[in-house]
Structure 1
Amino acid sequence: MDFALSDEQLMIQESAAGFLAKASDSAAVRAAMERDGYSGELWCQIAGELCWPALIVPEEHGGLGLGFVEQAILLEQMGRRLVGSPFFASACLAIPALLLSRNAELQARLLPELASGSLTATLACSASSRAGHLLDQNVQAVAEGNGWRLDGICEAVVDGAEADLLIVAARLPEGERASIGLFAVPANQRGIDRRALPTLDQTRRLGRVAFETVKVPADGCLHTADDGANLLDRTLQLGAIALACEQTGSAQQCLDLTLAYLGERQQFGRPIASFQAIKHRCADLMLEIESARSACYYAACVAREVLDPAGDRTIAGELGEASAIAKIHASEAFMHCAAESIQLHGGVGFTWEYDPHLYFKRARAGEQLLGSPAQHRERLAHLILEHYA
């Protein structure tokens, strides 16, 4: 498989890097951390001028009709700049769920608004798994009349307190053909209580969402009766790939910040970047980043085939393995790079005036988001053993 970027993809990469270097520099990130909610101006630029949320949305629904690889390029640049926006929740969780659902009515109604950025959305679910199987959801759906009733609580939902639309994963009652259902629910609907949570990583917002007798019409369900668990699983795998791409960009930025500092810091009359021991540590970081980048872009190629109805089903079948490998490599590379960045800054990298502490907090929080490396290793082992059983 050819991992070289095309001319069009290089243009996307360069334009994103140039825009974000100005719009989400260190001062802008720190200002966003103090703000209640995301910057409306930045989101208007991202959605209205650059059309990034429309990237993987089909043209018939107002999108650009590009693939997941192009989205991965954007995410890597966004990770470099710790961009605070609804993009990850909307474009990497909610939109893929709708695309995979094949629910033509919901797609026609929601995707144009999500593509334009006039509507933001997120996925509200319990995202953990054991031995390759999703854990029970904390929200329960009960059939009522011509629709459903939702009750329960979702903890630590990305943008849970800000999103306009919730894609809710709920446990179905015993006797149903599927164990999990996914429902599109307006966030302002009666019976929904949302609260922002204090977080270690102040650049990514999490919320607690509680449901009490929330009514959902039958056409609010994203899938057929027996496909809910499979839909949620694939959506979470695509989200893990997106997060891994973002983490790879963050890891690269940690190394770049460190190299710049090492070139300036003098010790014994010369830059400490010239010391052989320092070179070895930086070389190890670069190797981890390149390994993560390779895993992420292969996973992005698999994701592209999954989201394309006419995609290569042989490659698409590798989604579980590819997403797990990408998340493992990217999470560990980012965590190592962030920790080493603080140490190679002489320990002062964790003080408020330096940026490495922001990346360290993002790395520690992202390590657990959408599955820890240990959980993904467990899933990978399950898939391998299942294949050879």
Structure 2
Amino acid sequence: MKFGFSREQEEFRSNLRRFLAERSPPSEVRRLMETEAGWEREGWRRANAALGLTALRIPEAHGGQGFGFGELCIVLEEMGRVLLCAPYFATAVLATGAILNAGTEEQKRALLPGIASGETVATLAFAEDAGRWDAAATTLAATPAGGGRWRLDGHKSFVLDGHTADLIVVLARGPGSAGEEGLSLFTVPGDAPGLERRPLRTIDMTRKLARLTFRGVEAAPLGAPGGAAAPFARTMLEAAVCLANEMVGGAERLREDALAYAKMRVQFGRPVASFQSMKHKAADMLVDVELAKAAAYYAAAALDEDDAELPAIASLAKACAADAYMQTAIHAIQIHGGIGFTWDNDTHLWFRRAKGSEVLFGDAHHHRELMMRHWAA
């Protein structure tokens, strides 16, 4: 495993950081997060035309660039730094992952080019109102409708960008099945008859979630019906690793901004950064963020290498990044003092993202339990 990035990767990161800093300053984040969609389609298309970011992981045979998770996680880390308001995670990580892991070659040829070009915004709908992230909790019913078509009845909740996606990949359960048996993935157009989409109010306004209700919605199977358990599990491992990398980007931004403020703020005739309590907080943040980075980078490399310990490594990265991001956000607000609690100060934007990401796909306790189960097996 290599922990260092290549010169090409560092150059890619540098160019991407400049691009995102110009496209997503805090003022733009605040503007977009107040909208119902949370992003603008024209800006999304321009960003993809400039850098082709949604095509990064998609194979060249399907219109993509054919890079690995090392490069994808660089993108996510940099997007986490600026809180980019765009359906990138839903499209490039969740939906693309599900299609690559579960779809047939014919389905990949049909679905992936639109995602790669940026024309198709997609997402994966799997969690429900109970808030569980495992496949066994699925209750949405899939019923054969003849001619290779199925009908879906039930609901999905906490769907990333589910109210604006053009294509929705849905995890559903076949008749008479239980646990991880009888699970299938389906594709549904965002404007399908019988599909009701409602945005949810969440603590993180920069990442939009939705509740979807299916009433006899016609759907096409993605891959073999009844065989979705393994592809879905792989997609969730990828999502946990990608989210961990996005989180360390946000944590690093918080750490840098808090340190810059402490050096600038003067109290009792000297910068507050010179006080011992501030030095302790700065040191704690640095250690937490660097450890989380190491875990996230290692997990991304493990995905590219298809490491046998990947389930444990992915959970380790998610748990470590969740703790580091949340604790860094707390320290950052405290370092900013009274202004850190105000709406006008930008720190709360990253605090909200830290809190939302902490529980997304399972919190640190959940992932530590998964890690111990893997090691005990």
TM bin (shorter chain):
over 0.9
Q: Which residue of 2 aligns with 1:52?
A: 53
Secondary structure of the 1:366 match is helix
Pick closer, same or farther for the CA change 1:370–1:175 going to 2, 3 Å.
closer
In the TM superposition, residue 33 of structure 1 has moved relative to its aligned partner by 1.4
Letter in 1 for 2:51: L
Q: Which residue of 2 aligns with 1:35?
A: 35
Letter in 1 for 2:78: Q
Does the 8 A contact of 1:166 with 1:185 survive in 2? yes
Q: Which residue of 2 aligns with 1:149?
A: 151
Q: Give the Cα–Cα distance (whole angstroms) in 2 for the partners of residues 357 and 337 of structure 1.
A: 12
Correspondences of 1:1-389 after superposition (within 5 Å): 1-37=1-37, 38-126=39-127, 134-146=135-147, 147-174=149-176, 178-216=181-219, 220-306=220-306, 315=307, 317-386=308-377
In the TM superposition, residue 332 of structure 1 has moved relative to its aligned partner by 0.7
User: Which region of structure 1 is more displaced relative to structure 2, 253-262 or 174-183?
Assistant: 174-183
Secondary structure of the 1:199 match is coil
Letter in 1 for 2:167: L
Secondary structure of the 1:35 match is coil
Q: Give the Cα–Cα distance (whole angstroms) in 2 for the partners of residues 86 and 244 of structure 1.
A: 17
TM-score of the superposed pair, with normalisation by structure 2: 0.95
Does the 8 A contact of 2:250 with 2:325 survive in 1? yes
In the TM superposition, residue 79 of structure 1 has moved relative to its aligned partner by 0.2
Q: Deviations over 1:227-263 (max 9, x none)?
A: 3111111111111111111110000000011011001
User: Which region of structure 1 is more displaced relative to structure 2, 240-249 or 119-128?
Assistant: 119-128
Letter in 1 for 2:46: Q
Q: Give the Cα–Cα distance (whole angstroms) in 1 for the partners of residues 49 and 239 of structure 2.
A: 23
Q: Deviations over 1:187-226 (max 9, x none)?
A: 111111111111111100011111111122xxx3223345
Which runs of no fewer than 5 residues in structure 2 stay unpaired?
none
Q: Give the Cα–Cα distance (whole angstroms) in 2 for the partners of residues 163 and 129 of structure 1.
A: 22
Q: Deviations over 1:19-59 (max 9, x none)?
A: 11111011111111122321234312321111000000001
Q: Deviations over 1:292-319 (max 9, x none)?
A: 111111111122244xxxxxxxx1x322
Pick closer, same or farther for the CA change 1:175–1:281 going to 2, 3 Å.
closer
Does the 8 A contact of 1:126 with 1:138 survive in 2? no
Q: Which residue of 2 aligns with 1:311?
A: none
Q: Give the Cα–Cα distance (whole angstroms) in 1 for the partners of residues 365 and 152 of structure 2.
A: 32
In the TM superposition, residue 277 of structure 1 has moved relative to its aligned partner by 2.1
Does the 8 A contact of 1:138 with 1:154 survive in 2? no
Does the 8 A contact of 1:263 with 1:272 survive in 2? yes
* C-alpha RMSD over aligned residues: 1.6
Does the 8 A contact of 1:121 with 1:166 survive in 2? yes
Q: Give the Cα–Cα distance (whole angstroms) in 2 for the partners of residues 347 and 135 of structure 1.
A: 45
Letter in 1 for 2:230: N
Q: Which residue of 2 aligns with 1:310?
A: none
Pick closer, same or farther for the CA change 1:175–1:124 going to 2, 3 Å.
closer
Letter in 2 for 1:90: T
Does the 8 A contact of 1:126 with 1:135 survive in 2? no
Secondary structure of the 1:135 match is helix
In the TM superposition, residue 102 of structure 1 has moved relative to its aligned partner by 4.5
- What is the number of residues matched between the two proteins? 372
In the TM superposition, residue 381 of structure 1 has moved relative to its aligned partner by 1.5
Q: Deviations over 1:93-140 (max 9, x none)?
A: 00011111241111000100000010010000128658xx63321311
Letter in 1 for 2:350: Y
User: Which region of structure 1 is more displaced relative to structure 2, 376-385 or 225-234?
Assistant: 225-234
Does the 8 A contact of 1:292 with 1:330 survive in 2? yes
Q: Give the Cα–Cα distance (whole angstroms) in 1 for the partners of residues 174 and 296 of structure 2.
A: 33
Letter in 1 for 2:254: C
Does the 8 A contact of 1:178 with 1:225 survive in 2? no
In the TM superposition, residue 347 of structure 1 has moved relative to its aligned partner by 3.1
In the TM superposition, residue 173 of structure 1 has moved relative to its aligned partner by 1.9
Q: Give the Cα–Cα distance (whole angstroms) in 2 for the partners of residues 368 and 135 of structure 1.
A: 18
Does the 8 A contact of 1:328 with 1:377 survive in 2? yes
Q: Deviations over 1:117-166 (max 9, x none)?
A: 10010000128658xx6332131112231322110000111001010000
Q: Deviations over 1:59-109 (max 9, x none)?
A: 111111111110101111100000010111000100011111241111000
